[in-house]
Chains A and B, each alone.
Chain A
Amino acid sequence: KQEVTQIPAALSVPEGENLVLNCSFTDSAIYNLQWFRQDPGKGLTSLLLIQSSQREQTSGRLNASLDKSSGRSTLYIAASQPGDSATYLCAVLNDYKLSFGAGTTVTVRA
């Protein structure tokens, strides 16, 4: 069974600091890996999707890397803003279904 772990569970930083969120997974036979954002009481918003053959994806201030063989991904958020405060979830796709980590809750202090 795929196990996905996210570290740290919570993170609080001052505005402008760069964020580094970590995700690890036990079964490297994944089809893709995704990072989602979840605001309190809301659904999931897809941020970045990395196919298993790719090493990284970038969108604006966000960059995600994937090392499939070691079962790890890292999400970098540059120059954090208070609006980045949310829970960030990592998920991997295998056997047609997503397995999620428990998330990292980020607070960016103004």
Chain B
Amino acid sequence: GAGVSQTPSNKVTEKGKYVELRCDPISGHTALYWYRQSLGQGPEFLIYFQGTGAADDSGLPNDRFFAVRPEGSVSTLKIQRTERGDSAVYLCDKAGPGYTFGSGTRLTVV
């Protein structure tokens, strides 16, 4: 979507590998969200940043998932020891006012 860049657009990785997914809100927003969308489902909340800090990380499924936003702009979602169940589209959203979603990163764990 306009105003949010997510890279890579597609990522295929082997089970057990480490991956990083990047979100650049471009114009910069205080609030930034990560969601995960599995096939045939709506997006599910993962984590929400206000500035540099994670205001709510209650949606992260387990401790293999971690996200950072060190300068309050670009954010990276990190997944360790990937599993096949991590396969999904990972969406980033900059909020306020309104919502602008990126086109997502489609992660496939084989």
Contacts and interface: CB of A to CB of B under 8 A. Distances in A.
The answer to whether A binds B is: yes
Nearest to A95: B56
Contacts, number: 56
Nearest to A2: B45
A43 B98 contact: no
A4 B40 CA distance: 14
B39 to A, nearest CB: 11
Interface residues of B, number: 25
Q: Is the interface of A mostly helix, strand, loop or mixed?
A: strand
B42 A89 contact: yes
Interface string A35-46: 010000111111
B20 interface: no
Nearest to B42: A100
B42 A101 contact: yes
Contacts of A99: 45
Contacts of A89: 42-43
Given A42-B104, A43-B102, A98-B33, 19 more contacts: A4-B42, A34-B99, A36-B101, A43-B103, A43-B104, A44-B93, A45-B101, A49-B98, A49-B99, A89-B43, A96-B48, A97-B48, A97-B56, A98-B35, A98-B99, A100-B42, A100-B44, A101-B42, A103-B42
6 contacts: A34-B99, A44-B101, A46-B99, A89-B42, A98-B93, A101-B42
